[in-house]
Amino acid sequence: MEVSRSPHGLGAREIRDRVRRGELKAEEVARSLLGRIHATEPALHAYLYMDDEAVLDRARGLDLRVARGEDPGPLAGVPVAIKDNLCVRGTPTTAGSRILSAPGAGFRPPYDAGVVERLLGAGAIPLGKTNLDEFAMGSSCENSAFGPTRNPWDRTRIPGGSSGGSAAAVAARSAVVALGSDTGGSIRQPAAMCGVLGLKPTYGRVSRYGLLAFASSLDQVGPFARSAEDAALVLGAIAGHDPRDATSADVPVPDYLEAVRRGVAGLRLGVPREYFAVSVEPEVERAVRSALAVLEAAGARLQEVSLPHTPFGIPCYYIVATAEASSNLARYDGVHYGRRTPGARTLLDLYERSRSEGFGDEVKRRILLGTYVLSAGYYDAYYLRALKARTLIRRDFARAFEEVDALVAPTSPFTAFRLGDKVDDPLAMYACDVLTVTVNLAGLPGLSLPCGRDGSGLPIGLQVMGPPFEEGRLLAVAGAYQAATTHHLEAPAVGDTA
């Protein structure tokens, strides 16, 4: 389907340039996006919170700055959707959980997350908060306490998770760009299933200040966009050192827009054999192999490589991530934050009832798993062994990057499955992230971009992985591929497309 040239169908850079030149009002863009949201939300449920008047007020304020001749910033007038595990001052922030949304006890942060501060400073217009698996724990966006988001390409299917709301909004043109978080694939996997570009930066590249923690050594904030150029624009705005985040890296931020135009001539692209050894659907493998041929025709050199410890990724991840979740979520106890069950007779009763009522099944499952692997007698057998496996996985990548400049593979072994198909089978759901978790365990940057669709019309994602702080290299691959193809221009038929 041809993309609309209404403001909601424009790219971030075009909006920015036209707003800065005074050819387009930020308020006009905001109204177009708000109209698009209201047209698509009944079908998708991508958003959890919106305040139309606040959006329009901020847009009008930016138009006044332009009229006064002030520099409105590198994202001037660009509407951005924000995953609802990122703090926005005075705005309900639920992480998709009942524990932070109880009547009278809903969490409204008194501060902005570091990435939100940077977006506002760059002139972006936050549209609202998007749906997610509760506390970002899930691969389908079905674990939200407020109901699932639906895939814009087929509303009977999942959008991927945990950042399903952000991915669906960008795909449906109800956001120009969006922010998500990626702990084990939660940006890349929904990007693949919704047919958009999603980028997980290097661990430490983007501030985690104000991100509600799931697994602190794995979580990373990153952008969703329809083009490599737009992703580069957003990443350039949010990347950089933040002293409020102890894990933030003090590494210079390059010109990511320049990287998009760099091309792939002479670039060595490794094809990890283990990523095709899992049960990758034939249509997915054909689309990815076809994409590799496009990159080869653009001047890249393909080379098979091995990441031998890839099979240990899922068990390693689900020990490390659940252990950290158990620790991070201990603060939600009915005293410090959120829901407090009335009528409790003892402190233990208060804890038990508040947490039992506030957390969903998947969050409870991961807290129990994490508490178990950290407990006396099991720490060495599980958690310590997982840390050793994590080191081996990191070494696999380091050795591969001695031979090649980046790695290319499928993002997901399959396309979007139907709502409810895996929700009662936790192990099958955990296996959804088999091709993405190792990048998080190694702290590396990863990117997914659309490279075709299957016979049911569902998007397929190509994953690009690189060495630490080489996001520009991934964007160069994405830019070269998008320059030669049109998959990123395709839009699903949902809502009012006029």
As a whole number, mean pLDDT of residues 295-306 equals 98
Q: pLDDT tens digit string along 52-84?
A: 999 999 999 999 999 999 999 999 999 999 999
Question: Is 60 exceeded by the pLDDT of residue 498?
Answer: no
Beta strands at 221-225 and 268-272: parallel, antiparallel or unpaired: unpaired
Closest listed residue to residue 186, CA positions, set 154, 143, 155, 228: 143
Could you tell me if 245 and 226 are in contact, meaning their C-beta atoms sit under 8 angstroms apart?
no
Q: Is the pLDDT of residue 209 over 70?
A: yes
Catalytic residue of the set 25, 83, 200, 422: 83
Alpha-carbon distance of 461 to 456, in angstroms, equals 15
pLDDT score of 85 more than 50: yes
pLDDT given at position 407: 98
Report the percent of the chain where pLDDT is more than 90. Answer: 90
Other C-beta atoms within 10 Å of 328: how many? 18
144 given a catalytic annotation: no
Q: What pLDDT does residue 443 have?
A: 98
- pLDDT at residue 496 in the model: 53
Side-chain-side CA neighbours of 97 within 13 Å: the count stands at 31
Average pLDDT value for residue range 5-19? 91
272 has pLDDT over 70: yes
Mean pLDDT, residues 150-175 taken together: 98
Kindly state the average pLDDT of the residues 417-434: 92
Rounded distance, CA 404 to CA 19, Å?
41
pLDDT over 70 (residue 4):
no
Q: Are 198 and 223 in contact (CB under 8 A)?
A: yes
CATH superfamily of 7-314+385-489: Amidase signature (AS) domain (3.90.1300.10)
User: Which listed residue (97, 101, 140, 162) is catalytic?
Assistant: 162
| Averaged pLDDT of the chain | 95
Taking the C-alpha atoms of residue 152 and residue 228, their distance in angstroms, rounded to an integer, is: 21
Which pLDDT does position 5 carry in this prediction?
Answer: 66
Residues of the chain with pLDDT > 70, as a percent, come to: 98
- Bond prior to 162 in cis (omega within 30° of 0): yes
246: which 2 tokens? 């102890």
Amino acid code (one letter) for 455: G
Task: Determine the Cα–Cα distance for residues 128 and 462; give it in Å rounded to an integer.
Answer: 28
User: Is 162 noted as a catalytic residue in this protein?
Assistant: yes
The two three-digit tokens of residue 148, written as one number: 């699932």
HSE at residue 185, side-chain half, CA atoms within 13 A, is: 31
Q: pTM of the prediction?
A: 0.95
Where exactly are the structural domains of the chain? 7-314+385-489
Q: Which of 32, 174, 181, 186 is catalytic?
A: 186
Q: For the chain, how big is the Rg over CA atoms in Å? A: 21
Q: Per residue in 447-478, is it b (16+ CB within 10 Å) or e — as a string?
A: bbbbbbbbeeebbbbbbbbbbbbbbbbbbbbb
* Structure-token pair, residue 440: 């998080």
